[in-house]
Amino acid sequence: MSDLALLTPLLKIEYPDSDGKPMAETDTHRNDMTAVIEGLKDFFRERPDVYVAGNLFVYYEEGNPSAVFAPDVFAVVGVPKHERRTYRLWEERVIPALVLEMTSRGTWLEDEGTKKAICARLGVPEYFLYDPLAEYLDPPLQGYRLSRGGYQPIASARDGSIASAKLGVRFSLEEGRIRLIDARTGERILTPLEAQEARREEAAARRAEAAARRAAEARTKAAEAEAARLREELERLRRGSS
């Protein structure tokens, strides 16, 4: 046995959490990625056993730091919800339920080839591809479900949306942007910006309601004061005439 072989078990294997590459190629890619991640996080906010992340290294072979890929978006059902530097399958013991890749000029071949093959080998049940700029995929939103023969396309609904059976959501395109829909209720899952706007509108409505209530109270007090003044005036006149 070589000296290197003897030393290898004693060496601490590093699993980097960054490769120095940018997260996304365009504002559209970054915004859509953030919208999907934050939308899924909000959808599962009451579930402590659902972990949603994106652009995070997923290591799938212990002792082999090169066995890694970084999904743009992925969700895992059955693990504790907490922040992680990397996701290591041999520690977590749960594979992602869904992986979604944002296809771009620099990644579309890898997304349709290497990453898809890795996910199939690992047993990721659902694999989605989305081309935010509609430059490389036709249609720009595609979903696949794993079967014995590999990934098979998921049929889209009449409105073009594609369901994730594992997550209970539908992915759809509206005005060229990806949207999430609660598959059970049919309601939209708000994007972070929409949620912020909804909170602002709710706060503005509360302020307007409070202002209207204060104005009504002021009018009531003024009316009561005027009524009291008139009663006093009438009483004074009666006393003066007697």
Q: What is the pLDDT of residues 184-196, one digit of tens each?
A: 999 998 877 777 7
Using pLDDT thresholds of 50, 70 and 90, give the confidence band for residue 9: low
Does pLDDT of 10 surpass 50?
no
For residue 155 the two structure tokens come to 């049929």
Q: Stretch 134-144: mean pLDDT, rounded? A: 92
pLDDT recorded at residue 242 = 63
Dmax of the chain from CA atoms? 126
Q: Which CATH number fits domain 11-189: 3.30.429.10, 3.90.1570.10, 3.20.20.80, 2.130.10.10?
A: 3.90.1570.10
Min mean pLDDT across 8-22, 104-118, 137-151 is at 8-22
Q: Are strands 141-147 and 126-130 parallel, antiparallel or unpaired?
A: antiparallel
Q: What is the mean pLDDT of residues 193-207?
A: 71
Please indicate whether residue 234 or residue 201 has the higher confidence score (pLDDT).
234
Q: Looking at residues 115-122, what average pLDDT do you find?
A: 94
Report how far apart, in Å, the C-alpha atoms of 227 and of each of 217, 220, 224, 232, 240 are: 15, 10, 5, 9, 20
Mean pLDDT for all residues in the chain: 86
pLDDT tens digits for range 20-45: 665 557 888 888 999 999 999 999 99
Say what the pLDDT of residue 41 is: 95
Q: Which pLDDT score is estimated for 4?
A: 47
Inter-axis angle of helices 27-43 and 192-241, nearest 10: 70
